[in-house]
């Protein structure tokens, strides 16, 4: 807990530095990126973006939430937590290209000896009143699976490691879902899954096949926004009429003196 508060302070310091930069950019040029640790035997990791320590001690099965990053290409490098940074020495490195206004999941997947990035673009929209869901197969030794209604149709078929499916849009409701082998053998039940309206979900199957489990994340929830900011002042300051009188008076004086001058030089 102590560690957390220390890093919170660090965050606030960074935040104040960041804040002005981000603001100067006017958020239009920003992209969203979240990092997910999905490598079952890898230790907690530190993530460096362009050489800066950006995420600290991310344990397995944890995600960072979306971070705002400028659009463009970023050097993302992963180190075992606490390792001193040296460019190119990380367990995993990628030049990640992100576009303005888009969102991405960057998962560190597979076993440590062959750890790899799995990158997917995340949806930031959903048809009004509908729910959206996709699945990611990030269990390195698990076979291809289907995800579907128990005793019913598959929503996703043949998801293979290391892949993230497209989204499927469904009516908001409670579903008895399961992860199963294509022959119908259940791998993991997900009964009573409540999918809410206006919400986009990603469900990742992680860990090794003998201890397969699921990480669920919300990618997006839709809500309305106005076109314009509010007008939050009821008062109308007094028109500074005295100011105008002064300026007017000054003008009259200048005009008058000009008149005098001209008169003198005629």
Partner 1 sequence: MSLRSEEVGFAVKAEPAWTEQPEPAEKVKEIKPTETPAKQAPNPINELNQPGIAPEALAIPSIGLEADITHLGVTDTGEMAVPDNGDELSWFSPGYRPGQRGRAVIAGHVDDLDGPAVFWDLTELEPGDEILVSGEDRELRFKVHKMESVPLDLADVDSVFGYHSSPELVLITCSGTYDYDRGTREERLIVYASLSEE
* Residues within the interface to partner 1 (CB under 8 A): 3-4, 7-8, 10-12, 14-16, 18-19, 22-23, 26-28, 34, 44, 53-59, 62-68, 124, 189-196, 201, 203, 213-218, 220-237, 239
C-beta closer to partner 1: residue 142 or 203: 203
d(CA 233, CA 20): 26
Least Å from the CB of residue 34 to partner 1: 7
Least Å from the CB of residue 90 to partner 1: 17
Q: Is 225 helix (H, G, I), strand (E, B) or coil?
A: coil
Least Å from the CB of residue 123 to partner 1: 11
d(CA 251, CA 56): 66
C-beta closer to partner 1: residue 23 or 260: 23
C-beta closer to partner 1: residue 21 or 260: 21
Running DSSP on this structure, what letter comes out for residue 61?
Answer: T
d(CA 131, CA 259): 79
Rounded to an integer, what is the distance from CA 247 to the centroid of its chain? Answer: 54
**Residue among 135, 68, 136, 55 at smallest CA distance from 98:** 68
- Asked if 97 and 120 touch (Cβ cutoff 8 Å), the reply is no
C-beta closer to partner 1: residue 18 or 261: 18
Alpha-carbon torsion angle 119, 125, 128, 132, nearest 10: 0
Least Å from the CB of residue 230 to partner 1: 4
- Asked if 50 and 79 touch (Cβ cutoff 8 Å), the reply is no
d(CA 37, CA 116): 11
C-beta closer to partner 1: residue 218 or 256: 218
Least Å from the CB of residue 254 to partner 1: 25
C-beta closer to partner 1: residue 16 or 266: 16
**Residue among 216, 38, 191 at smallest CA distance from 133:** 216
Least Å from the CB of residue 257 to partner 1: 31
């Amino acid at each position: 807990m102590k560690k957390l508060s220390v890093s919170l302070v660090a965050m606030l310091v960074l935040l104040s530095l960041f804040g002005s930069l981000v603001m100067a950019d006017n958020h239009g040029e920003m992209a969203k990126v979240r990092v997910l640790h999905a490598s079952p035997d890898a230790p907690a990791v530190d993530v460096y973006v362009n050489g800066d320590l950006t995420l600290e001690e991310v344990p397995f099965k944890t995600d960072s939430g979306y971070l705002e990053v400028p659009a463009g290409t970023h050097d993302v490098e992963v180190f075992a937590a606490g390792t001193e940074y040296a460019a190119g020495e990380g367990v995993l490195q990628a030049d990640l290209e992100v576009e303005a206004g888009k969102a991405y999941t960057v998962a560190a997947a597979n076993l440590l000896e062959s750890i790899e990035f799995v990158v997917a673009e995340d949806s930031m929209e959903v048809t009004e009143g509908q729910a959206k869901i996709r699945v990611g197969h990030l269990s390195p030794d698990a076979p291809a699976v289907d995800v579907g209604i128990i005793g019913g149709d598959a929503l996703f078929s043949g998801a293979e490691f290391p892949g993230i499916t497209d989204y499927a849009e469904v009516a908001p409701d409670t579903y008895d879902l399961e992860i199963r082998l294509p022959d119908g053998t259940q791998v993991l039940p997900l009964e009573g899954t409540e999918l809410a309206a206006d919400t986009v979900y990603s469900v990742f199957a992680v860990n090794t096949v003998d201890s397969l489990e699921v990480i669920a994340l919300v990618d997006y929830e839709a809500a309305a926004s106005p076109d314009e900011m509010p007008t939050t002042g009821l008062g109308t300051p007094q028109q500074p009429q005295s100011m105008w009188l002064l300026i007017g008076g000054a003008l009259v004086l200048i005009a008058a003196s000009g008149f005098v001058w001209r008169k003198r030089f005629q």
